[in-house]
Chain A
Amino acid sequence: MASIPGPDACPPTVRLNYPTAKLSLFLLLSLSSGPHYLIKKDRERKHRKPASKTGLPVWMLGMGAGRWEEDMSHLLALLFRQGVLDEHFMQLQQLQDESSPNFVLEVISIYFRESEKLLRNIRTLLLDRECTDYRKIGVYLNHLMGSSSSIGANLVRNVCVAFRAASEHCNWAGCLRSLAVLEHEYCYLKNKLHELFQIEQQRVLAAGVRYHPLLQ
């Protein structure tokens, strides 16, 4: 639980476990701008962390809790529109329940770990033009396709399909190009999913802070 080190000596409602957290939160609060890299094309989104008169950001006062849900749904809609995610991601989210509250996070962490291994392996295989084992690349790609389909990573999966075609034709240059695209799309997906998790974290925090002594 996070403590709120405001300038006033108010009793903290939540506690942090990490010593560096106070400093980081301070820095966070001091920032006047929000993560605008998120809104490259959506300028109308007011995505920032405004501070209240008491020095605390509004979301911490429990009044901006709805914003995070809105943010999350907005981001998800964007990803769906772009074809990065598909309905299997929703199914994954539906699997999460009280018995496994971090299910989605765990699954996606496993996915990242495994996918990166696979991508590394593929890259290693493509190092030498002469003795590239295309069949093995195909095997790795199948694995990656399967994993990506499990979390609903539609775009990564489609790129894998194209890559697989290049590997079946033993086209080294084509494979390298496809690998570049694959890595790029994978990084994009990873970033977006991280954002999603951040928003979720903040939403949980905001939902946790319902009452503030100063407001009562």
Chain B
Amino acid sequence: MQMESSSASSRVESFPIGLRVLVVDDDLTWLKILEKMLRKCSYDVTTCCKARVALDLLRERKDRFDIVISDVNMPDMDGFKLLEHVGLEMDLPVIMMSVDGETSRVMKGVQHGACDYLLKPIRMKELRNIWQHVYRKRIHEVKDMEIHDINDDIHILRSGFENFDDRLFMSTSEMISLRKRKDVDTRDFSDQDLYDSATVKKARVVWSVDLHQKFVNAVDQIGFDKVGPKKILDMMNVPGLTRENIASHLQKYRMYLCRIQKQNEARDFTGNKQPDHSPEDHSVNPGIQNPRTSGGHKSQNIQGLDMIDDFQESELNKQDVLPEKNKKEDVHSQKANNSPQPGPPLHLEAMLPHSDHKQVYPSMSKQKGWHESVLLRQFMQYPKHDHEPFSLLEDHSHPTQTQEPLVSISSNEKEGTEFNIKASVVNRKDRHMKIISTTAYADDSVSTQMEQVNSKEFGATYEHNKLISSKEQHYEQSRVHDLIPPSIYLNTKNEVDLIALPEDLNLPYLQGFGCVENVGFNGMELHQYNSCASLAELQNNWYDEIELNCEYWYDPLEYPLLDECLFA
């Protein structure tokens, strides 16, 4: 701890040097480049190519990072979802990056709470300035505190005054003093203040499931339209929670709900379309659930935070499940304006009173893209009630996800209520497994062929692979031949000298690679470009092949003078 604090203080003294950045991107090239660029800016970089891993990293220690940079298009989790999680749970500034700079995407990023949106390719100077987002957030947090205090003072004073004129007078003077105070604050906001605020690390409130659930309860009770931070604070009655914590959380919550509403409306409008649907969901959705409900489920999923919190808090047992749930479901439907399908979700919910909600959040957070967990998430929306509450947002010591769902289903079965559900789930799983296996087949056939090839050189491998695959799938290629000249060449001219080649295609290079492979490099390690020996060998072989094929021949007679000069 001492080391931490000393490093923290040294870091803060020379802000923004030592800024702790987490970079999340599935593109390994960019990951390496960004790491290097950020290191050059003297930042402390951690890289991650999977969003789930990044979330785990962030959750394991809340104050480990100052800022997160994330790509938008990632396979395991949408960048916007990650953004949401980070914003809600950790309140860190998040910068989005993408190769796509369309206005709609940028807008979406900002709506989800990104504090900046960078376009790839990213220049180093853009990265130099990312510290401003950290700084800005800190200043705003402190200022919020000030403003809230001042506003309170004003209210108290105002309400205390009977006389209208006096009140007016008081308010203007208060305003003046408020402004003065603010000016003073900004001027005084020197390094010292920053140092204090940074090291003290204004107890970042951890919005655990319990806390968030209390918050949501309070909001419900007050009424969404009449809600205010002070009322919520009073109702929640949590010691140590301050108004500005609630205010900022409320703001985020509102944004979040607005976005959900819009999504629901958009979805209903467009039918089955779901913008944030992962591809796996789509493949599994058809079947038992009708499209609308699946959409509804998905939205329920996103709102899962709220619902699960509510359900958890109640700690209901079996008998009270249905009526309670219905009530809560209604509340939530109203609140979220999720009018489309209140019926079916309830129905399914009735069918699964004991589904294990343990799986929901962890499966969401640790989903390795397995269809099962997604599938079961769809079913098991509604938590088990004879299950002690635990902090979903923070419990990440869950072992594995893929096997547990099955176990939970079978345990449910013992309670004798979901026979048909289990059967249908299992069926879907089987069908799904078939889907996986068929899609995997295509990849496998290609990859096994690849493994047969001994060469390590990727270019050669690639070309060779094309050769093999094209041979084996010639019935496909027959259609395709006329469309792909290179394939033709590679197919037919395996061992033949490649003499008559169209120059403009620069195919000598292609053929050179193919030829090299066929002539038999015999597994030479061509990718070790650091070794000059292999380089020399490479050159050697290239000269052998290309000399025969190339149209330009070196004419020693052309450069007589030069020869004499150079030959020492």
Contact = CB atoms under 8 A, between A and B. Distances in A.
Contacts of A179: 484
Contact of A180 (B446, B486, B530): B486
Interface stretch (B22-30, B247-255, B303-311): B22-30
A10 interface: no
Given A37-B546, A50-B566, A61-B568, A177 B552 contact: no
Given A149-B121, A150-B27, A151-B29, A142 B554 contact: no
Nearest to A197: B529
Interface in B5-61: 26-30, 32-33, 36-37, 40
B203 interface: no
Contact of B533 (A18, A127, A147): A18
Interface string A194-216: 10011001100100000000000
A21 B446 contact: no
A51 B530 CA distance: 24
B33 A187 contact: no
Contacts of B543: 31, 33, 35
Interface residues of A, number: 85
B458 A205 contact: no
A27 to B, nearest CB: 5
Nearest to B503: A40
A36 B542 CA distance: 11
A197 B510 CA distance: 18
Contacts of B462: 116, 119-120
Nearest to B73: A142
Given A37-B550, A50-B563, A58-B568, A105 B28 contact: no
A106 B262 CA distance: 45
A114 B29 contact: yes
A81 interface: no
B529 to A, nearest CB: 5
Interface in A1-50: 2, 16-18, 20-21, 24-25, 27-28, 31-37, 39-40, 43, 46, 48, 50
A127 B100 CA distance: 27
A53 to B, nearest CB: 6
Given A36-B554, A48-B554, A177-B483, A95 B33 contact: yes
A37 B536 contact: no
A80 interface: no
Contact of B458 (A112, A129, A152): A112
B442 A124 contact: yes
* B75, B476, B509 interface centre (most CB from chain A within 10 Å): B509
Contacts of A145: 99
Determine the main DSSP class of B at the interface with A: helix
Determine the main DSSP class of A at the interface with B: helix
* B462, B530, B532, B546 interface centre (most CB from chain A within 10 Å): B532
B221 interface: no
A33 B458 contact: no
A194 B529 contact: yes
Interface in A135-151: 135-136, 139, 142-143, 145-147, 149-151
Contacts of A205: 532
Contacts of A71: none
Contacts of B73: 139, 142-143
A17 B531 contact: yes
Contacts of B99: 142, 145-146, 149
A145 B28 CA distance: 13
B100 A32 contact: no
Contact of A21 (B26, B473, B532): B532
15 contacts: A18-B534, A20-B533, A33-B547, A35-B543, A46-B559, A91-B124, A106-B32, A110-B28, A112-B458, A114-B28, A116-B461, A124-B443, A136-B279, A152-B121, A173-B483
Interface of A: 2, 16-18, 20-21, 24-25, 27-28, 31-37, 39-40, 43, 46, 48, 50-54, 58, 61, 63-64, 88, 91-92, 95, 100, 102-103, 105-107, 109-114, 116, 119-121, 123-124, 127-129, 135-136, 139, 142-143, 145-147, 149-152, 173, 176-177, 179-180, 183-184, 187-188, 190-191, 194, 197-198, 201-202, 205
Interface of B: 26-30, 32-33, 36-37, 40, 71, 73, 75, 98-100, 120-121, 123-124, 279, 442-443, 446, 458-459, 461-462, 465-466, 473, 476, 479-480, 483-487, 503, 505-506, 508-510, 512-513, 527, 529-537, 539-540, 542-543, 546-547, 550-554, 556, 559, 562-563, 566-568
Given A109-B527, A116-B459, A188-B506, 4 more contacts: A116-B458, A150-B30, A180-B483, A197-B529
The 8 closest A-B pairs by CB, nearest first: A21-B533, A18-B533, A33-B554, A149-B121, A24-B536, A146-B99, A52-B568, A50-B566
